[in-house]
């Protein structure tokens, strides 16, 4: 796999080549992903649930993210490495700069990911102005789970869909270089993916995004929590973890995953 940068992902979008992305939290799994052709690795704050056993992502600390990002960085060779900014670590632009600086300088991340739309525009602008690539995150935002009233599909009514569309365009306009859409209707995700020049990565957002992301432990079927509808267990029909990851990459590239059963209307 050639060295992957943000420019690589933009080229993949322009050429219609789907982007396979997975979460990772340590060097060993990251090496498996590299060998299996995963171009983008996300150190997700989902580690709070699948690694730490928390009920949500909210208790995750910046120090946790720096530690796991550093572990993943030691295992990567060519993949683009993205790290989540944890809950309440980017409440102001200055705080966001400090958090992102730690994730990149101490953790080795190439890009940071944050949740939120209009409220984060100034923060995204400040980060990108300081040379920090940003992946935005809209739709179901796990850090806002209590405000949203649970893990529910977002953007089903016309007004909610309008807000997500406008937020996506605004985030791109202030410099976001990638967008994750989580648990939104497939049609809405398709419209946003077409409207934006930057890559749009879906999770529970249908097959028409520019790529897909899953939590590693979910797609291997080894998480104790309830498996979301948008997940497929790729280890069930594989002989090894590496085979399962390769099957995921192939399914994303050939658009056989996600299927209709993994999306929302």
End-to-end Cα spacing for the chain? 35
How many Cβ atoms sit within 10 Å of the Cβ of residue 26?
16
User: What string of DSSP letters covers the chain?
Assistant: -PPP-HHHHHHHHHHT--EEEEE--SHHHHHHHHHHT--EEEE-TTHHHHTS--SSSTT--HHHHHHHHHHHHHH-SSSEEEEEPPTTS-SSHHHHHHHHHHHHHTT--SEEEEE-SGGGHHHHHHHHHTT--EEEEEES-GGGHHHHTSS-----SHHHHHHHHHHHHHHHHTT--EEEEES--HHHHHHHHHH-SS-EEEESS-TTSSEEEE-HHHHTT--SSPPPTT---SSTT-SSHHHHHHHHHHHHHTT-SS-GGG---
**Is 182 designated active site?**
yes
Name the nearest CA neighbour of 214 among 20, 40, 22, 56. 22
Q: Please pick, among 34, 115, 172, 182, the residue that the annotation labels catalytic.
A: 182
Catalytic residues: 182
């Amino acid at each position: 796999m050639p060295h992957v940068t943000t420019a690589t992902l933009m080229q993949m979008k322009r050429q219609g080549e789907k982007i396979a992305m997975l979460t990772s939290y340590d060097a060993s799994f990251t090496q498996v992903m590299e060998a299996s052709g995963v171009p983008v690795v996300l150190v997700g704050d989902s580690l709070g649930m699948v690694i730490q056993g928390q009920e949500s992502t909210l208790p995750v600390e910046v120090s946790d993210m720096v530690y796991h990002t550093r572990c993943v960085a030691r295992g990567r060779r060519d993949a683009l490495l993205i790290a989540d900014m944890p809950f309440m670590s980017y409440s102001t632009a200055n705080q966001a700069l400090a958090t992102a600086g730690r994730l990149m300088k101490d953790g080795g991340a190439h890009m940071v990911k944050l949740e939120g739309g209009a409220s984060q525009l100034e923060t995204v602008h400040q980060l990108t102005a300081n040379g920090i690539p940003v992946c935005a995150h809209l739709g179901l935002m796990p850090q806002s789970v209590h405000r949203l009233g649970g893990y529910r599909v977002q953007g089903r009514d016309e007004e909610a869909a309008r807000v997500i569309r406008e937020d996506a365009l605004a985030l791109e306009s202030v410099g976001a270089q990638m967008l994750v859409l989580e648990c939104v209707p497939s049609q809405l995700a398709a419209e946003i993916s077409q409207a934006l020049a930057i890559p749009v990565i879906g999770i529970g957002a249908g097959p028409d995004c520019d790529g897909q992301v899953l939590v590693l432990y979910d797609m291997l079927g080894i998480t104790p929590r309830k498996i979301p509808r948008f997940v497929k267990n790729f280890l069930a029909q594989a002989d090894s973890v590496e085979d399962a990851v390769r099957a995921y990459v192939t399914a994303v590239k050939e658009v056989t995953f996600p299927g209709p059963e993994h999306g929302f209307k």
